Amino acid sequence: MLANFRLPKSWIVNPGGRLSKISAWVDGFLGDRGWSETDFATAILVDDDRRDSPTHKVDCFKNGVGLEVEWNNKDPFYDRDLNNFRLLFDLRVIDVGIIFTRCDELQNVFDQLGRGASYGASTTHMSKLLPRLEGGSGGGCPILAFGIRQALYDPSS
């Protein structure tokens, strides 16, 4: 997936709506390979007292690996994802979590295209994720973080 990914200009200048073009591409690429959005039904059971403890859906899941795409959400979405990975890891549901996001250097591209205000400082990008990872927000869950770099930007498409 990483080797095939490019960031076309059209994905930046034409808003994607609820699901970004990047998320749709990742979902399609991994979906063709058996990955799926997954909602886990979790609960806490003490004696006969069951309390549902739902998690958030994982964007793409397969064989113990969970992947979240955070392209242009508010940065607290990282907290949600990392907490979800931590819980699912502690429950032995996932073995590793992956976050696919953008590198800060893409702000230069957004600014040049007149879209900089839509991709502001309080949205998801690597410098918002790294302090959370360094602070242990994923708990014991191993987390891989991949950032989309400016070198992947394709201005011709």
Please indicate, yes or no, if residue 34 is contained in any of the structural domains. Answer: yes
pLDDT at position 14, please?
Answer: 85
Share of residues in the chain with pLDDT > 70 (%): 99
pLDDT digits (tens, 9 = 90+) for 15-60: 767 788 999 999 999 999 999 999 999 999 999 999 998 899 999 9
Measured CA to CA, the distance from residue 145 to residue 129 in angstroms comes to: 8
When divided into structural domains, the chain yields a total of: 1
* Among 32, 20, 42, 30, CA closest to 66: 30
pLDDT of residue 128: 96
Let me know if residue 1 belongs to a domain: no
Q: Quick one: pLDDT at residue 53? A: 87
123 located within any domain? yes
- Contact assessment for residue 99 and residue 68, using Cβ atoms and an 8 Å cutoff: yes
CATH number at residue 128: 3.40.91.20
Give the mean model confidence (pLDDT) for residues 87-98: 96
| pLDDT value at residue 111 | 94
Q: Where in the sequence is the domain holding 137, given as residue range(s)?
A: 7-154
Condensed to tens digits (0 to 9), the pLDDT of residues 59-85 reads: 999 999 999 999 999 999 999 999 999
Quick check: 132 and 145 in contact, CB under 8 A?
Answer: no
Q: Residue 22 — φ and ψ, nearest 5°?
A: -65, -50
Residue 57, in any domain of the structure: yes
Asked whether residue 2 is domain-assigned, the answer is: no
**Residue 7: beta bridge partners?**
153
- Per residue in 94-143, pLDDT tens? 999 999 999 999 999 999 999 998 898 889 999 999 999 999 999 999 99
Record the pTM.
Answer: 0.93
CA separation for the pair 46, 44 (Å, rounded): 7
3-state secondary structure string across 142-153: CEEEEEECHHHE
pLDDT at residue number 46:
94
Q: Can you name the residues that pair with 51 across neighbouring β-strands?
A: 44
Amino acid at 72: N
- Position 54 scores a pLDDT of 87
**Which tokens sit at 93?**
């549901």
For residue 149, count CB atoms less than 10 angstroms from its CB and return exposed for 0-12, middle for 13-18, buried for 19 or more.
middle
pLDDT of residue 15: 72
Residue 137 lies in a domain: yes
